[in-house]
Amino acid sequence: MKVVEVWWDDAHVTTSDMSIKKAQRQKPVRTITIGCLVAENAHGVVLATDIYPDDAKNVKIVNFIPWGIITDYFIYEDIDP
Residue-range definition of the domain harbouring residue 19: 2-78
Q: Which helix (H) or strand (E) holds 58?
A: none
Specify the pLDDT at position 77. 86
List of residues 6+ apart from 26 with CB closer than 8 A: 12
Specify the pLDDT at position 12. 94
Specify the pLDDT at position 8. 98
Provide the CA 72 distance to its chain's centre, in angstroms: 11
Specify the pLDDT at position 78. 86
Domain count, the chain: 1
pTM of the entire predicted model? 0.86
Q: Which helix (H) or strand (E) holds 67?
A: none
**pLDDT in tens for each of the 81 residues of the chain?**
999 999 999 999 999 999 999 999 999 999 999 999 999 999 999 999 999 989 989 999 999 999 999 999 999 988 876
